[in-house]
Amino acid sequence: MTSIKALTGENLSTKAPVLELHDIQATVLRPRPAPYFGFHVLLHIDDAESGRKFLRRLAPHVDSAAGWWSAATPWLAVGITHAGLHALGVPQDSLQSFPEAFREGMAARARQLGDEGANDPKNWDQSYGKGEIHIGITAFSDSEENRRRILGVAREQLEGLTGVRVLAKQDFGAQPGDLNSLGYKDGIDQPAIEGSGVEPLPGQGHPIKAGEFILGYPGESGFTLPTPQPDVLGRNGTYVGFRKYQSRVGAFNRFLRANGATEEERELLAAKLVGRWRSGAPLTLAPEVDNPALGADPHRNNDFNYSNDPRGRQAPFGCHIRRMNPRDTTLTRLTDVNLHRVIRRGTTYGPPYDPNALSEEADEVPRGAYFLFISAKAMATIEFLQQEWINDGNFMGLGEERDPIIGLQEKGASFTIPREPVRRRVHGIETFNVLRGGEYFFMPSLSALRWLGELR
């Protein structure tokens, strides 16, 4: 998240940004509005010239990051899969210059991602996992009216183009209180990016080198990642890991009821699973009772590390946010945590979370989250997170325990809550969020979008 002053444009760094913001897509730096409304559209290209014409028409409507703080007007983001680049007629040597995981696509990387069992691509929703998805369009806006307006803009660009087909469209939007599909406030912590002109908020840590998130700049190691060729195609672009989750709200509520006798006990348990109360207040700053004012305050709600909680008595080692960003936690496997950060754009869909939904039918209600994980090495980072920090516990000394929110669980899975005098181990953790689809996208710069549109 960004500072409020920065959001109003008041507090921009006076130093000239080192990033070519006018060429980078807005979504890389611009946070979701609160509340937010939007849609994802997945497209298939039947005919290369229609695909290129669509991009030529669309490019002027894709915002750049130069005005990243002006989230009041709706904006579009565009991603293209490797199959999509092929369908647009990108030359073979250029196609080969993309990383292997991107070339293969997310479904083909199921083994590296641990997407098996319930999360296996063979169980994914229609359109996913078959190489059919070529272009993904995402729109964000601050009102229902603006969502309709930007949808109209996107539709206009498709008019008369018989060679581009809509495979799927999904609206998403803020739930009451800006909560996600399991009833938590989310989208709080984001990495700060060096040279972006975005002021870090307290607790965001030192700004991370731009090359971790955008192609063409040095990363944390001092090196610039190989950029897809030609340079105009790769530079200022990035990758997006797109994952659609279905939240099994009934299973989640049944688990809380089975392990918490009172509302207070259940809410504490829900907080222990994530590391934050549903209000967003972090357990390290509000260990005993929720503090909604803290959760709502962007200057305080992320201003913590784990130095005062070395035994996990406040935020358990295995909770979602401590796994996903261990901050200063001592890990059993030595890792530089700054190499595994991603920019997250979570988008919640379906009816709001209902704490009283307990039935198995409630698990089937289409409700959950589409995540956009943005990074210059999104494929490697997501595959690392899935293997090491989500579906394993050894890096934290937790054996086979997995992430309680997004882990793929075996029957009888448990979650350990360190406490005095003896730890508590809760059983009955299930796969509360099931993967229903996903794809790797390349998010080109604005000049690359124009280049693609002009290909012959």
Scored b (16 or more CB within 10 A) or e, 36-66 reads bbbbbbbbbbeebebbbbbbeebbebbbbbb
Task: Please tell me the distance from the alpha carbon of residue 256 to that of residue 248, in angstroms, as a whole number.
Answer: 13
Least distance CB 293 / ligand HEM (angstroms): 16
Q: How far is CA 11 from CA 4, 70, 199, 242, in A?
A: 9, 13, 7, 32
| Using rule CB under 6 A, residue 215 touches ligand HEM | no
| Using rule CB under 6 A, residue 204 touches ligand HEM | no
Q: How far is CA 305 from CA 205, 284, 290, 348, 404, in A?
A: 9, 8, 18, 27, 21
Q: Closest Cα partner for 240 from 137, 326, 127, 140?
A: 137
Tell me which residue has its CB nearest to ligand HEM.
325
- Show the tokens assigned to 352: 């709001």
The SS3 of residue 241 is: strand
| Using rule CB under 6 A, residue 69 touches ligand HEM | no
Looking at 245, 277, 415, 442, which residue binds ligand HEM (CB under 6 A)? 245
108: burial class by Cβ within 10 Å (0-12, 13-18, 19+)? Answer: middle
In the shown chain, the binding pattern of residues 289 to 328 toward ligand HEM, with x for contact by CB under 6 A and - for none, equals -------------------------------xx--xx---
The H-or-E segment that residue 362 falls in is helix 361-364
| Using rule CB under 6 A, residue 186 touches ligand HEM | yes
| Using rule CB under 6 A, residue 189 touches ligand HEM | yes
Please provide the size of the chain in residues. Answer: 456
Looking at 64, 175, 433, 445, which residue binds ligand HEM (CB under 6 A)? 433
The SS3 of residue 90 is: coil
Helices (H), 24-118: 26-29, 48-58, 82-87, 92-96, 100-104, 110-113
In the shown chain, the binding pattern of residues 364 to 403 toward ligand HEM, with x for contact by CB under 6 A and - for none, equals ----xx-x----------x--x------------------
**Window 224 to 243, contacts with ligand HEM (CB under 6 A):** 243
Looking at 74, 84, 136, 187, which residue binds ligand HEM (CB under 6 A)? 187
| Using rule CB under 6 A, residue 193 touches ligand HEM | no
Least distance CB 215 / ligand HEM (angstroms): 21
**Window 88 to 117, contacts with ligand HEM (CB under 6 A):** none
Nearer to ligand HEM, 23 or 189 (CB): 189
- Chain positions contacting ligand HEM, by CB under 6 A: 180-182, 184, 186-189, 243, 245, 247, 274, 276, 320-321, 324-325, 344, 368-369, 371, 382, 385, 405-406, 433
